[in-house]
Structure 1
Amino acid sequence: MGYFRKSAPWGDLTIDQVAFIPYGEDPVLIHITTLGNRGLRPLTVSYVEYWDVLVSPVLPGRGERSRMLRGLRVQRTTRYCAERRLLLCCPAGSYPGPGASDSGRDPDPPTIFLAAIDGLPVAGYETSRSVFFGEGGLDAPDALQAPFLACNSFREPTRADRIVLTLQREVTIPPRYQVALAHLYGCASWDAARRDASRSTTPLGLVERYSSRPPQAWFQQSLESWRESIIRLHAPDDPWLAREVAWASYYGQALTSYSAATGEAFFDQGGSRTYALGLPCSARDSCRHGLALLPNSPAQVRSTVRHLARLSSANGARSPGHRLLPWNSAQREPADQHLWLLWLIAEYALWYRDRAFVDQELPRLPRIPQGSRTVREQVHHSLDLVQHAMAGHGLLHLMQELGDRILSRHRRRGDDLRLRADAASVATGALAGVVLPRVAELYRWLGEGARAQATEQFAARVRLALSQAWNGRWFGQPAAERGHANRLQPPFLECQPWVLLAGAASEAQRVIVLHDIREQLPLGAGGDGALDAWDPVPFAERAPLVCALAQTDPLAAWETLKSCTLASHTEAHPERWYGIWSGPHSLAGVVRRRARAGTAKLVTDFPIADAHSATHLLYAARQLVDLQADARGYRLRLRLPFEAFGFEAARVGVRWEPHRVAGYIVPQGNDSAEIRVEYGRPFAGQPRVLVNGRRSAARLSADGGEVSFSVFLRGGQRTDWEIVAEPEE
């Protein structure tokens, strides 16, 4: 996984090329070219490694002209470091970014580099596009007609479209022998002192690292890391779902981007949004993907948190030049952005018992004057901003068009829609009802009892406000002024499951809401139901619905989960196979209808799918297992109607069998924890608990339905446990 390979023979010469991105967070690519001699005489071969220089992706589609200009705006110089066999393309100015003001320019745009890392000499290099291609063009570059490249470099700043990076290699291959040439191509920060004292993110640091081992060793390590990082779902009735979960885990992790501004890798959106529109991933989407991949990628989750925290300023807005969209520059980010960040921090810290990360200092970007803050202080800060966003009736102000997606759709269509002064978002309020108890649990684990109590009281106020938004059929709050609400009548189903998960609905209200969802949204394979009418629940965002159904109807939750798969959709709609099943976010509504008519070129011909369809499937599958972390430790409660089930990730796993429950956890920090397993029925016999193969004291609840035991977790070490019934004597 994660590599491209091609082979070609030419007489006695064989060529085998492998290009791959090493597993991890380094923004580099390794290209290995193995030249073999099948003949009986030595072969002398001249090989040229060629890479373009383009800072911003350029692909056919809408906005190509603006993307091209954005990528070429920074002028660059080139130079060659003979000691490291390293060719550098360095920026000669700051990178403004999309829609940035003068104060928002990136002070440290990336340096593009190409290096030979195989230990063999370099015969020449060229950085001038015009010199390399000359009059021969792509078919017969002039530079290849000469014995050696001319070693030209740009000492004065020039446009990036005039630059190429090429290294010439001269090798003699003995008979029946082969020679491997390896090159490292990537981008990095040049200012090591300001960002990384180890120099690991500088060109020199990256070249030193990847020159320390044979290139094939990096390739094998990368393959093995991908194998270990797959998320495995063991489902009894649907092997295809297990295969798709494995693919989703590959895909979600692969859509990780590196920010030259923050020096961090973060979970990105992918799809046309990233690669065609060139828009940065919103904070909410990065956090959504992080929550889905939490059991697998703790390092990427930490990096995503640092990335988002470094981009936020005192009033809650992202820094200039890195906002969600250019036209939002005068407004704050919606409150839900901070709710998602709070949720990701709380879940990570509790799952991995990582107190060191909570107190890690987060340096701000140089252009933000507020200095630095710790992750703990970021939690305080984001929570204060969410409380400030409370409307008079206890919900959260919309603040922006993205605070509630139904309003966003009407505005994009140009509807005459005026918001009331006290307009609030039930969707954001319901999200707060889910997130705030998790933040309170984080405070409780950290020993901050007063903050935990205050956060719980805040959550109670939100739940009360949500319950008061009940209109007899669903939870909704009038947002438009009188005379402008006629088009907001259908229930916005996307937020209804969040209200149920927040615990704001009575049992009678839960029954009514779920019945309404069933009426509006058939739960069969690929069912669209009323989606054509007004797009209530996007295909890729049914994870909250799965979780809400699991509370009372596990079988319906399981069927809904299966209906969220690409396999289910393709079976139901074989004619709609256009590469990006989630549109930007959904199969439904305008995007899908345009795709059916062949007019939505932006999303139908794009080869890299949006991340939502992958990560929402992962999140829903994990929630059905219902392994939760809290201040006490971990609680497992299976929500599936099966006797055997399994969920295994790189750091967390559970296997549930008729007479045995087992699991493992690899924490980040040391901690004493209690593991509780709820069976939903009285335990048959007396429980026997093994921790790392040794007997541990087991406790059985008064009703016999819960088995608990204590463990001491050591950071970085795997702890295995299992519960079985004592054999009868």
Structure 2
Amino acid sequence: MSRFGEWTTVDGLPAFQCGAVEIAWDPMLDPPSTTHWVHLGNRRITLVAGTDGLSSIWDEHTACLWLASHTGISRLNDQPLTGPPLFGPTYSRVSGPGVVRTVLCPEGESPWVLIRVDVQTAEPVTLSEEWEVSPRLVNLEFPAPWDTEPLETPQVMLEHLGGSLVSATSGPLKTEVPLPPGSHTVWFRFGLDDGPADPSIYAASLASLQERLPAWPAELQWHVALLTGGACADGVLGGHTLNQGSAYSFRHGFNGAARDPLQHALPLVYIEPDLALSVLRNTCAWGSPDGDLPYALDGRKQPWTSLFRPSDQNLWALWLAAEYASATNDYESFTVPVPYHPIHNAEPVPLQENLRRQFRFFVDEIGLGEGGHVRILNADWNDLAITESGVDRDVMISRGSSVLNSAMAAWVLPVYATLASRLGDETTASEARSLASDLRTRVAAEWNGRWFRRAHAPGNVVGDDTLWLEVQPWAILSGAATPTQSRALLGTIDELCRTDSPLGARVRPPNGPIWFSINMTLIWAAAKYDPDLAWNEWQRMTLAAHTAAYPEIWSGTLSGPDAYLPPEDPRPGQTWAMPDLGVAMQAHPIANLHSHSQPLLAYLRLQGLEP
């Protein structure tokens, strides 16, 4: 149904065969283009493969760094190999008469792509492989770069395996291979040199990929591959990060918020638990010894705290830790030390202690505000909650509170308490359960007869006359809503937020955006009281649903942003943009890991998997 091509199966794995159609799109911050991309990766490198057959290479090992942009081509006797590509879960492939070229991200942490060129020729030919090295740091560009410090440019190589190797810090790289008549398979690799490579890694990688992807429907396999392909081994903090990507990282140059890699790792607890643990450890290492997590890391992996100061981030770390322990029974990992960000010059502590300090920070430093709810600071989950609340900003920051974070904490803290208890910390476990009980009671009092209120400030209530979706599922999940209230609330959400919206519930009726991370919790909450609604909402979250509703929009075909615009918007099915502020998800509206992790987590919840 897509105007861009069709899904197929190659070697037992899902793949997308692009067609020849060219459909222009507007990034809002950059010139319009007819080239579209998909992000494919291993646990180190990202191949950004274009519908024009060219590629970009991204490496976040020590910084948000493009190694090469819009390059990479094979030629036979100077004739370029072009044509609509086939995108597999970890590779891009272009075919022409007598030649097939595959660019693969090999399994593991190889910092390079492997290039296989199969040639069948009746006469002698010269095969050339050509790439352009163009390193570029992306660091808080809104639209100007945050800093202009010189980049320590890496040496990038192009190697003909078994033949020559050329390298450069910038500029063109080319290698030529003369071929006699016959059938040939020629191997190259492009990227950072980490030692010798063997072409056998190609078949081994595809076999490993087939083995590690769960035996689920094709779209879910695709989500797993692209989610895990977004991981990168962290050369500064250790472990792996799962940057939410999209415009945040690839266009604007930061990894944030801290809650996002934690959120992305949740479904991996049941799929690739070692990666989930690695992400937990890495994100905990962002923090400071007092238990605070910065909003984000900038393009140089330094804590960035100057914009948003949310009050929910510790909850996500406690949640992921508890879910990991519940699913794996691996309690030994909580005794292994985790570092703090080098900026703090602090000694590592066991993961258990890192989490305990995060709990203490949540209780003692974030604390409670108006109405006894968790303080909102200058944001909670919603970065614009204060701006849109209509309450004085300074008053809201100093004394305002978030019913959303109270409801979330009322669910998270008991599961964390179970983990703390099993690790022998009964004092923390008891305090966590007591605080959760108190918050649950306070959230229950926010029912206004149709929905739960959103926030409080002195002399002001937010969300009494307007439904804010993000708090509602957590009220159900935490037990603050009675069964009768839960069923009535889901009916109200169906009526106000879901009507005539093919991609799912609007975050605020009548015309709010549609957020993957919020609709995941809606599906989870609805599963107990209205399974039909839950499954229908999950189906609206799929790539298939977006393609059916908006077949001429690339975003949503193979990957997506963090949020879609609703049908009432002038750009329905696309994503948000604030060009006057120099920021736009529309500038890079694919490869946001919410679009892959949240359908997976919602699916697992629908199967009954939760801590």
Shorter-chain TM range is 0.7 to 0.9
Q: Which of 189, 208, 221 lines up with 1:225 in the alignment?
A: 208
Q: Which residue number corresponds to residue 251 of structure 2?
A: 276
For the Cα contact (< 8 Å) 1:36–1:173, is it kept in 2?
A: no
Q: Which residue number corresponds to residue 5 of structure 1?
A: 93
Indicate whether 1:616 and 2:594 are aligned: no
Indicate whether 1:266 and 2:241 are aligned: yes
Residue 340 (structure 1) shift? 0.5
One-letter code of the match for 2:607? V
What TM-score does the superposition give when structure 2 sets the normalisation length?
Answer: 0.73
For the Cα contact (< 8 Å) 2:561–2:575, is it kept in 1?
A: no
* Counterpart Cα distance in 1 of 2:262 and 2:575: 33
Indicate whether 1:313 and 2:288 are aligned: yes
SS in 2 for 1:541: helix
The 1:386–1:53 alpha-carbon spacing in structure 2 relative to 1, beyond 3 Å, is same
* Counterpart Cα distance in 1 of 2:482 and 2:431: 24
Indicate whether 1:56 and 2:132 are aligned: no
One-letter code of the match for 2:161? D
SS in 1 for 2:447: coil
Residue 328 (structure 1) shift? 6.2
* Counterpart Cα distance in 1 of 2:246 and 2:207: 27
Residue 439 (structure 1) shift? 0.9
Q: Which residue number corresponds to residue 9 of structure 2?
A: none
The 1:297–1:594 alpha-carbon spacing in structure 2 relative to 1, beyond 3 Å, is same
For the Cα contact (< 8 Å) 1:258–1:264, is it kept in 2?
A: yes
For the Cα contact (< 8 Å) 1:580–1:603, is it kept in 2?
A: no
The 1:499–1:538 alpha-carbon spacing in structure 2 relative to 1, beyond 3 Å, is same
Q: Which residue number corresponds to residue 585 of structure 1?
A: 562
Q: Choose between structure 1 and 2 for higher RCO, CA contacts under 8 A separated by at least 6 residues.
A: 2
For the Cα contact (< 8 Å) 1:290–1:344, is it kept in 2?
A: yes
Q: Which residue number corresponds to residue 78 of structure 2?
A: none
SS in 1 for 2:255: coil
For the Cα contact (< 8 Å) 2:256–2:297, is it kept in 1?
A: no
Aligned residue runs from structure 1 range 186-265, under 5 A: 186=192, 203=193, 206-208=194-196, 211=197, 214-215=198-199, 217-233=200-216, 242-265=217-240
One-letter code of the match for 1:296? I
* Counterpart Cα distance in 1 of 2:391 and 2:566: 16
Identity %: 23
Residue 427 (structure 1) shift? 1.1
RMSD, aligned CA:
3.9
Indicate whether 1:399 and 2:377 are aligned: yes
* Counterpart Cα distance in 2 of 1:525 and 1:291: 27
Indicate whether 1:342 and 2:318 are aligned: yes
Aligned residue runs from structure 1 range 159-174, under 5 A: 163-164=170-171, 166=173, 168=175, 171=177, 173=179
Residue 336 (structure 1) shift? 1.3
For the Cα contact (< 8 Å) 2:562–2:594, is it kept in 1?
A: yes
Aligned residue runs from structure 1 range 298-377, under 5 A: 298-318=273-293, 322=297, 329-330=305-306, 333-377=309-353
For the Cα contact (< 8 Å) 2:294–2:304, is it kept in 1?
A: no
The 1:117–1:444 alpha-carbon spacing in structure 2 relative to 1, beyond 3 Å, is farther
One-letter code of the match for 2:379? E
Indicate whether 1:286 and 2:286 are aligned: no
Residue 384 (structure 1) shift? 0.8
| Deviations 1:625-670, CA, capped at 9 Å, x for gaps | 11345xxxxxxxxxxxxxxxxxxxxxxxxxxxxxxxxxxxxxxxxx
Aligned residue runs from structure 1 range 73-92, under 5 A: 73-76=149-152, 91=153
Aligned residue runs from structure 1 range 362-511, under 5 A: 362-388=338-364, 389-392=366-369, 393-404=371-382, 407-408=385-386, 410=388, 417=393, 419-420=395-396, 421-476=398-453, 478-482=455-459, 489-511=465-487
The 1:2–1:36 alpha-carbon spacing in structure 2 relative to 1, beyond 3 Å, is same
SS in 1 for 2:344: coil
Q: Which residue number corresponds to residue 101 of structure 2?
A: 17
For the Cα contact (< 8 Å) 2:309–2:379, is it kept in 1?
A: no
Q: Identify which range, 582-591 or 362-371, moves more after superposition.
A: 582-591
Residue 469 (structure 1) shift? 2.8
For the Cα contact (< 8 Å) 1:579–1:605, is it kept in 2?
A: no
For the Cα contact (< 8 Å) 2:138–2:252, is it kept in 1?
A: no
Q: Which residue number corresponds to residue 163 of structure 2?
A: 120
Residue 603 (structure 1) shift? 4.4
SS in 1 for 2:407: helix
Structure whose CA Rg is larger:
1
* Counterpart Cα distance in 1 of 2:388 and 2:552: 26
SS in 2 for 1:551: helix
Indicate whether 1:176 and 2:260 are aligned: no
What TM-score does the superposition give when structure 1 sets the normalisation length?
Answer: 0.62
Q: Which residue number corresponds to residue 79 of structure 1?
A: none
Residue 273 (structure 1) shift? 2.3
* Counterpart Cα distance in 1 of 2:356 and 2:336: 14
Count of residues paired in the alignment? 512
One-letter code of the match for 1:164? G
Residue 406 (structure 1) shift? 5.8
The 1:576–1:317 alpha-carbon spacing in structure 2 relative to 1, beyond 3 Å, is farther
For the Cα contact (< 8 Å) 1:358–1:374, is it kept in 2?
A: yes
Q: Which of 610, 617, 625 lines up with 2:607 in the alignment?
A: 625
Gaps of 5+ in 1: 77-90, 92-110, 128-159, 187-202, 234-241, 630-729
The 1:167–1:443 alpha-carbon spacing in structure 2 relative to 1, beyond 3 Å, is same
SS in 1 for 2:103: strand
For the Cα contact (< 8 Å) 2:230–2:243, is it kept in 1?
A: yes
SS in 2 for 1:303: helix
SS in 2 for 1:505: coil
Q: Which residue number corresponds to residue 68 of structure 2?
A: none
* Counterpart Cα distance in 2 of 1:224 and 1:524: 43
* Counterpart Cα distance in 2 of 1:575 and 1:46: 37
Aligned residue runs from structure 1 range 67-146, under 5 A: 73-76=149-152, 91=153, 111-114=154-157, 116=159, 118-122=161-165, 125=166, 127=168
